[in-house]
Amino acid sequence: MELLEFFAEYPKVALAFSGGTDSAYLLYAALKSGANVQPYYVKTAFQPRFEWKDARRLCRQLGVELSVVERDIFRCAQVVKNSSDRCYHCKKEMFSAMKARAALEGFPVLIDGTNASDDAGDRPGMRAIRELQVRSPLRECGITKAQVRKLSKEAGLFTWKKPAYACLATRIPAGTALTQEALKKVEAAEERLFQIGFSDFRVRVFHGAARLQFPEDQLSEAFRRREEIKSVLAPYYSQVLLDLETR
């Protein structure tokens, strides 16, 4: 199946829109095909500010209005508990909210940006999406992440080279309860590292310390600039560790 065929079969859809590479291209493709598509962004404490900013910027670029669904994710006890299946409960909460809102506004089908490179096995988040009968056109049409980036670049979307980004909750070890304070510290620390030129990294919490994971091509620079990194992260973490396992 081609994307054009998918949108011919489903001409009116709601899109779970994150501002990332995959959902950005899917929004573009839906609009290009002539589908009536409405992007929905779920705004929670788990999404960093730059994702919210990118989502709005992309919608402005494509001339489409973004619908925002605000959720207090800390009201979901199963999510706050942060067990190994946290992602299932979080996705269930977020996608249920989008699906209900979309149905009320006349959009019977909810789609997301899962692509053919994503593991569609029994991961907790994927299980929630299947249970809610969310469609994944990119995966269904066999479009990989590399193809999404190539097509996005050709379309002139600024998201074509945007690194993959997991939500802030993934920085906290499973079994450690999530708090607003912990997530805010992670977000602030990552924002500072972005500001001094690093990209596609993670600041993970490890026994109260910041455990930094960089791509292989940035490891040597991170070590060389270790004193600078310690300095910019000092307001958030008293200990900063460099993980030699690349992300």
Shared domain for 138 and 213, answered yes or no, is no
Max Cα-Cα span within the chain: 56
Number of neighbours of residue 104 by Cβ within 10 angstroms:
8
How far apart (Å, rounded) are the C-alpha atoms in residues 55 and 18?
6
Q: Are residues 19 and 136 in the same domain?
A: yes
In a domain, 168, yes or no: no
Shared-domain flag, residues 13 and 107:
yes
Domain holding 101: CATH number?
Answer: 3.40.50.620
By CB neighbour count within 10 A (0-12 exposed, 13-18 middle, 19+ buried), where does 217 fall? exposed
User: Are 175 and 82 in contact, with CB atoms under 8 Å apart?
Assistant: yes
Please give the pLDDT value at position 118: 83
**For 94-129, how does the pLDDT look when each residue is reduced to its tens digit (9 = 90+)?**
999 999 999 999 999 999 999 999 876 667 888 999
Same domain? 226 vs 145: no
Q: Indicate whether 247 belongs to any domain.
A: no
The answer to whether residue 53 sits within a structural domain is yes
Q: Which residue has the tokens 């590479």?
A: 21
In this structure, are 138 and 27 located in the same domain?
Answer: yes
CA distance 232 to 204: 16
The verdict on 81 and 201 lying in the same domain is: no
Assess if residue 214 is contained within a domain.
Answer: yes
Q: Kindly report, residue by residue over 215-230, the tens digit of the pLDDT.
A: 999 999 999 999 999 9
**For residues 163 and 202, is the Cβ–Cβ distance under 8 A?**
no
Q: Which value, in Å, is the radius of gyration of the alpha carbons in the chain?
A: 19
Number of Cβ atoms within 10 Å of the Cβ of 36: 14
Count CB neighbours of 34 within 10 A: 11
Q: Report pLDDT for 244.
A: 87
C-alpha pair distances (Å), 114 with each of 83, 142, 231: 23, 10, 38
Considering the domain architecture, whether residues 157 and 185 belong to the same structural domain is answered as no
Whether 151 maps to a domain, the answer reads yes
Regarding whether 202 and 118 lie in a shared domain, the answer is no
Asked if the structure places residue 124 within a domain, the reply is yes
Question: Is the same domain home to 36 and 145?
Answer: yes
pLDDT bucket at 28, cuts 50 / 70 / 90: very high
Neighbours of 157 (CB within 10 A): 21
The whole-model pTM stands at 0.92
**Domain ranges, residue 18:** 3-161
Residues 96 and 12 placed together within one structural domain of the fold = yes
DSSP characters over 22-46: HHHHHHHHHHHHT-EEEEEEEE-TT
Q: How much is the average pLDDT of 182-200?
A: 96
CA distance 47 to 24: 16
Q: What is the pLDDT averaged over residues 54-70? A: 96
Measured CA to CA, the distance from residue 86 to residue 92 in angstroms comes to: 10
Looking at the structure of the chain, the number of domains it has is: 2
- Of 99, 103, 104, the closest CA to residue 129 belongs to 99
Query: Where does a domain end: 161, 192, 216?
Result: 161
Q: Please, are residues 203 and 232 in contact by the beta-carbon 8 Å criterion?
A: no
Residues 187 and 157 in one domain: no
